[in-house]
Amino acid sequence: MATKLPKTDIVLVGVGWVGGIIAAELTKKGYKVVGIERGKERSTEDYFMAHDELRYAERKEMMQDLSKETITFRHNMTQRALPYREWGSFLIGEGTGGSGEHWNGQTYRFLPYDFEIYSETVKRYGKGKIPKGMMLQDWGITYEELEPYFDKFDAMTGISGEENPLPGSPQIKYPNPPMLKTPAIQLFRSAAKELGYHPYHMPSNNLSQSYTNPDGVSRGACQYCGFCERFGCEYGAKASPVVTVLPVAKETGNFEVRTHSVVRKVLHTNGKATGVLYVDIRTGEEFIQEADVVVVSAYQMNNIKLLLNSQLGRPYDPVTGTGVIGRNYAYQTILGTAVGFFDKEFNLYGGAGSLGAQIDDFNGDFFDHTDLDFLHGATIQITQLGDRPIANNQIPAGVPTWGKEFKDASVTNANRALIVKAQGASLPWQDNYIDLDPTYKDTFGDPLLRMTFNWKDQDRQLMKFMGEKSAEIMKKMGAKDIKINGLEVGDYDIRNYQSTHNTGGVIMGSNPETSALNSYLQMWDCENVFVPGASAFAQNSGYNPTGTVGALAYRAAEGIEKYLKTGGSLV
């Protein structure tokens, strides 16, 4: 029998960027907030002396335990899905701060085109440009409506960046100047500019200088140590929930975090949630936390799983294309890369998670797609993340991948290989989706999520195009030898890391028939449940998702306060 706890104003399912922003915003206004977090409490002290590549980067110290919670995967509906046993394609964080602790810090705003992608595509090319089975739809909100929330996220985190020089792109004034221009990055910028493109420094949530945000949180500048991705930042220079929003919420005295606790169900009746059922994994005890508002603020995959297991919202049916929970799952295409080998050395061991430059000339709809076999596009970029010794051994094409020749080539090219890569959009398809697995269950006996996903010709054509453009820039940079990846792409391989940019499954929109949420991230089917996060994205962009996740979280916080005051649907 579950123990019923005293009612609170708001309960959060997950305490990462989304939960942290909502907690900070609403506790400052006097609301009581309880956060339920499956992992442990984290602080910067956890990251002292933690530059251990084997433990953190290779053995995934900060990630969710796959022996207790995983997904199953298949390429199409005719196959049996099998469990994801070892982290590969993406990495889901665990503990306070979530994936916002081990991220790189590359922070963008999705393009105006992204939010109105269906309307803009039809307007420019006609409906015939959209292939059969591609489920493009507008988000139910515009960039202009989201702009003030983007501004709040930028100011809170202290983004370091410069304005995008590409004509037609949003002009953004960042709180801090861009990061350093290293020789490798400057080489890319010069080459791209010579080719007529518009390079600029990528927006970074690694601070370029000391900064105090509007909440009075002060943080120091990045040390360029090269231990960002898959690591926590002991300096607090990389923006994360643990060093920005969570301290603000805790300072109010209105915020309580319950760690080592997994929410199994959102409890609801007659279109309203009453609270959540969760388990303390240290004792096995079950608790019911009642609340006026339930915020499902976990990682994208976990949001979908919780709603499906709670029987909240209509499950998606890939045969008919109806239903909403599990609909429009999208990933990201990051296979169009050019590896260049140079005669000179670069100091590649130094770097930061979002130290880099890029062009957006082939992103979104900035270029004409009339004669192309794909929609949307990609950023093309160079990054200097800090090449750690275990996982960075680039070798030219034709060199064996083991033995003496491999070792010699790895050593020779250790600081002589640069990568220009394309990060592309992933658009939704009727048969790429998420549902509950009929066979496999988690440690509590609840069904696991099942992912059905594969690349389409859209993705393959986009990757090939971007691989060629990446190679063009690398050639102009003066590489003596170039290896291009992505020209020939087979099936999606879940074993190889690409990004943690999973999106969709609980998407927002203006029509309850084709979306689960309204523009405040409030469920159409359950008025006091809000589901912010990347699960709300109707498709994925050529950009990293966190900036857009943050903006939507601020809008959701505003919506939650409106709901607590007035009740009912907010649109």
Contact residues for 30 (Cβ-Cβ < 8 A; gap 6+): 254
Q: Is 501 a catalytic residue?
A: yes
- Which residue in this structure is represented by tokens 């971007």? 466
Burial of 496 (0-12, 13-18, 19+ CB in 10 A): exposed
CA distance 562 to 296: 17
- C-beta separation of 126 from 214 below 8 A: no
What DSSP string describes 484-495?
A: EESSS--S--TT
Q: Give the sign of the dihedral formed by CA 248, CA 251, CA 253, CA 256.
A: positive
Helix axes 546-566, 143-157, angle to 10 degrees: 110
CA distance 516 to 140: 11
Report the 10 Å Cβ neighbour count for 493: 12
- Which residue in this structure is represented by tokens 């690694």? 206
SS3 of residue 430 by DSSP: coil
Distance set, CA 390 to CA 58, 270, 386, 410, 509 (Å): 9, 55, 12, 11, 44
CA distance 143 to 166: 17
CA distance 524 to 521: 9
* Biggest distance spanned by C-alpha atoms of the chain: 71
- C-beta separation of 307 from 266 below 8 A: yes
The token duo for 565 is 């005051």
Count of residues in the chain: 571
Report the 10 Å Cβ neighbour count for 370: 8
The token duo for 406 is 């491999």
> Which residues carry out catalysis?
501
